[in-house]
Amino acid sequence: MNTKQLQYFLATAEQGSITGAARELDVAQPAISLQLANLEHELKIKLFERDFRGVELTGAGLKFEQHARLILAQIQTAKTELLGSKKDCKGHVVIGLSQSSCNVLSVELLTELEHRFANIELTFRIGPSHTVEQWLVDNQIDLALCYKPVQFNSAATSITLIRESLYLYISRHPKNPAYSELALYGALPFSELQHYDIFMPDDQDALSMLLHKHARQGGIKLKPKGDFGQLMTTLHYVSQGFGLVVLPSSGAFHLESSNQIRAINIVQPDLYREVYLHVAERKSQDQAVNVVFELIREVTANVHSNQFWRGTLIDKKYAHPLRLTREALVTG
């Protein structure tokens, strides 16, 4: 369950139809229908009675409406208490991050800033992990998302955001005959990767280093294929059926959602890496930087809840409320 589902549910209840909710929220009608279907499936409860005139809440739906309003109100109260006092602050903040992290965070982060902190200007600097780390050490950026702790000369703000899971991505319609068997797999032992050419960044990149480390430990040798430097170009080749790539869901969720590619779980061992959020030493007291720092934590919790960024959420500050059980709804 996530806040988007709650918002769509309440809008549909208020408008009395999915069409009305779509018009009110300026969201495509199929997107609302899908989220409501997912919500009912998760709760195992029918929330709406549907007919040609529109929709009407069921008894369980009326009870759930109370919970949904309470949850969203609590989330908004928390946001106001944590960030509302800083809404008038100004500044220009530069964030260094990888292409995959930017893919999952940038739109929601910019949207939140526009709505809540319009006087803060945000710039993204995208680069390989080792380059982002060097930018941070050299004070060329204000904030960084990295894949290892960065050593500072003095205390600085740094937290572990998420332990992101890594997947092997393959096209829904692979063109290479060597991938035909893979198309049937839901999970694949890591050792099996040695049999396939896999798009990988250069050897200094954190992802390549992690994959080669596991390969050495497993006594195998991978067959890396140079990627194109741009994540979207690499993913285009993969989606067209001409390659494979190992990525976190943050880098590929948009293509998964449109069924252009599919994630295969890598097991024995499970693959994951931790993502750290760092503040540059010289910026630890900067109000605008601290606002963006908090927003990154909040947005990370949001996209994790939506399953766009899968793995274990380590930073629990903005974690979404525990899922409601069917029994809790029925009993009110």
**Quick one: 150 and 206 in the same domain?**
no
Contacts of 117 (CB under 8 A, 6+ apart): 83, 86, 87, 89, 288, 291, 295
Residue that terminates a domain, selected from 83, 99, 118:
83
Please report the pLDDT score of residue 324 as a whole number.
43
Per-residue pLDDT tens, the chain, 332 aa: give them: 788 899 999 999 999 999 999 888 888 888 899 999 999 988 999 999 998 888 999 999 999 998 988 888 887 777 666 655 556 789 999 999 999 999 999 999 999 999 889 999 999 999 999 999 999 989 899 999 999 887 655 555 889 999 999 999 999 989 888 888 888 899 999 999 999 999 999 999 999 999 999 999 999 999 999 988 899 999 999 999 999 999 999 999 999 999 999 999 999 999 999 999 999 988 888 999 999 999 999 999 999 998 999 999 999 999 876 544 444 444 44
What CATH number does residue 228 fall under?
3.40.190.290
Which residues span the domain enclosing 76? 3-83
Does residue 329 belong to any structural domain of this protein?
Answer: no
Would you say the pTM of this structure is higher than 0.95? no
Question: Would you state the structure tokens that stand for residue 145, as one six-digit string?
Answer: 């998302």
Does residue 210 belong to any structural domain of this protein?
Answer: yes
**Quick one: 97 and 128 in the same domain?**
yes
Closest among 93, 64, 12 to 296, alpha carbons compared = 93
Instruction: Tell me, letter by letter, the H, E, C secondary structure of the chain.
Output: CCHHHHHHHHHHHHHCCHHHHHHHHCCCHHHHHHHHHHHHHHHCCCCEEEECCEEEECHHHHHHHHHHHHHHHHHHHHHHHHHHHHCCCCEEEEEEECHHHHHHHHHHHHHHHHHHCCCEEEEEEECCHHHHHHHHHCCCCCEEEECCCCCCCCCCCEEEEEEEEEEEEEECCCCCHHHCCHHHCCEEEHHHHHHCEEEECCCCCHHHHHHHHHHHHHCCCCEEEECCCCHHHHHHHHHCCCCCEEEEHHHCHHHHHCCCEEEEEEECCCCEEEEEEEECHHHCCCHHHHHHHHHHHHHHHHHHHCCCCCEEECCCCCCCCCCCCHHHHHHC
**Quick one: 128 and 117 in the same domain?**
yes
Please report the pLDDT score of residue 248 as a whole number.
98
**Quick one: 177 and 262 in the same domain?**
yes
Does residue 182 belong to any structural domain of this protein?
Answer: yes
**Quick one: 217 and 127 in the same domain?**
no
**Quick one: 124 and 246 in the same domain?**
no
Please state, in angstroms and rounded to a whole number, the distance separating the CA atoms of residues 55 and 270. Answer: 44
**Quick one: 24 and 169 in the same domain?**
no
For 99, half-sphere exposure in the C-beta direction (CA atoms, 13 angstrom radius) is: 18
Does residue 152 belong to any structural domain of this protein?
Answer: yes
Please state, in angstroms and rounded to a whole number, the distance separating the CA atoms of residues 120 and 81. Answer: 19
